[in-house]
Amino acid sequence: MEFSTQTSTDLTQINTEALAVGVFKNQVLSPAAELIDQASQGAIRSVLESEFKGDAKTSLVLRQLNGVAAKRVVLIGLGEQKKYNAKAHATAEATFASYAKAASIKEVVSTLASIDTADSSISDRSRAAAQAIGAANYHYDATLSTKNNPSQIERAAIWSAPTESSAVEVGLLQGKAIANGVNFTRLLADLPPNICTPTYLAQEAKKLGEQFDHLKVEVLERKQIEALKMGSFLSVAKGSDEPPVFIVIKHSPTTPSDEAPLVLVGKGLTFDAGGISLKPAANMDEMKYDMGGAASVFGTMLAVAELNLDREIIGIVASCENLPSGRANKPGDVVTSMAGKTIEILNTDAEGRLVLCDALTYAERFNPAAVINIATLTGACVVALGDVNSGLFSNNDTLAEQIKEASQQTNDGVWQLPISDEYQAKLKSNFADIANIGSPGAGSVTAACFLARFTESYPWAHLDIAGTAWSGGANKGATGRPVPLLVQYLINQTA
């Protein structure tokens, strides 16, 4: 994908395959649409009464308008003008990108970012445009016998005033990196679990290290993990023949800094059958997505590397499979974590926290400024928040607010839930320091409370993405969330 700015003052003379202009409900034209309408002697207004209402997520194509150089003028519905905001703009850009992709159009110009909103800048809106095109271009065919090689949107320009071109360029640069990270995340998550194994993730991490000079990758294998005494993580891996791996991806800025690093920790269960506490057969195929947290760390680190952010950023992935076998964890087993805490395993399907707790303990060695872990952790979070918002938990109010700010900037929603001491009592065990599940109720909260016991030495946040990392049913596929949020958070911390 190539992105550029288009600052021609004469919009009618821009020669492009498709030019997007916005139309609000009640026949209100955006400034760009007004210019095209005047040049074409009312061609846009002539269709508003009968053919186009301006509803969000709708479009109408006008071809070869008199007085307009663009081959197609694509009217994009913006919805009600008084409700138009950054999220509505992102939806409008996605509508245009989807049309262009479906129509096999390779080169486009969008004027939509030039429409002001109270809650975004031209840079924010340009970033959203690049992300929308990247999302439209994603196509999975890795395991199909016949590759259909669909057309891609290869070149896109954002129309703006000349004085705004620098801000647009910044937004496009960030948006392209985020889009690449999102699509890398989606591909890793969509791959079947017999291909995307822990070993495969380790290989992909090494490829990243080879691609970027400022990325250093270390892959720890079973004996090294045993030497670190990660007994909790290793207990989950026991049931599978696939060996576990512990991956560390370190981005070092070109100019060394005294600032403490920011650390991302991803849950990397490349398949989760639940272990002895076996999951129901229905939809178990979707448990290949239980490495969505790990995939988001990979995607975020790719974006970080492309942007070469001026901050040390470390990605950690603990990866294995959770399967039933004669060696697998049993309900009632007690294991010892890297932190020395003993854990009673009451449910082997609550394995993500057993993997993450050792990874979070490992993160201490970097003396981090903040740690964010990302995990498809609990079905309870899906019940609470559905597929709209990721669950946010944190032991630090400042960090939580920073994540919320990044969430708002990228329309990658989160909702904060509590981890107060009253919930910690639900994790009491008679036979170990802590149980791996709580008493009934508040399952996503008690899972976060479990993790919080291993994060007392640094500011920490936990994103439960069980409802947002993928879509099920006929549209089954990874979403790439929360890569936009994570990259924006990291950008904000380096600004």
List the catalytic residues.
Answer: 279, 353
DSSP H helices, 164-315, are: 165-190, 198-211, 222-227, 231-237, 292-307
The C-alpha angle with vertex 375 and arms to 354 and 358, in degrees rounded to 5, equals: 30
Name the strand (E) or helix (H) holding 248: strand 245-251
Residue 236 has a CB neighbour count (10 Å cut-off) of: 28
Q: Burial, 438: exposed, middle or buried (Cβ in 10 Å; 0-12, 13-18, 19+)?
A: buried
For residue 421, what are the contacts with CB-CB under 8 A and spacing of at least 6? none
Q: What angle do CA 157, 160, 162 make, to 5 degrees?
A: 110
Whole-number Cα distances in Å, 194 to 241, 244, 321? 12, 14, 11
Radius of gyration, alpha carbons of the chain: 24
Q: Are 107 and 16 in contact (CB under 8 A)?
A: yes
User: For residue 291, what are the CA distances in angstroms to 84, 121, 271, 374?
Assistant: 36, 34, 7, 10
| Closest CA relative to residue 250, chosen from 293, 219, 216 | 216
Tell me the three state secondary structure of residue 290: helix
For residue 393, the cross-strand partners are 462
Query: In sequence order, what are the residues at sequence separation of 6 or more whose Cβ sits closer than 8 angstroms to the Cβ of residue 105?
Result: 17, 18, 72, 151, 153
d(CA 218, CA 222): 13
d(CA 465, CA 388): 10
The torsion angle over the Cα atoms of residues 335, 350, 373 and 190, rounded to 10 degrees, is 130
Which residue is listed with tokens 């394995």?
A: 351
Give Cβ neighbours of residue 193 (< 8 Å, ≥ 6 apart).
270, 271, 287, 288, 321
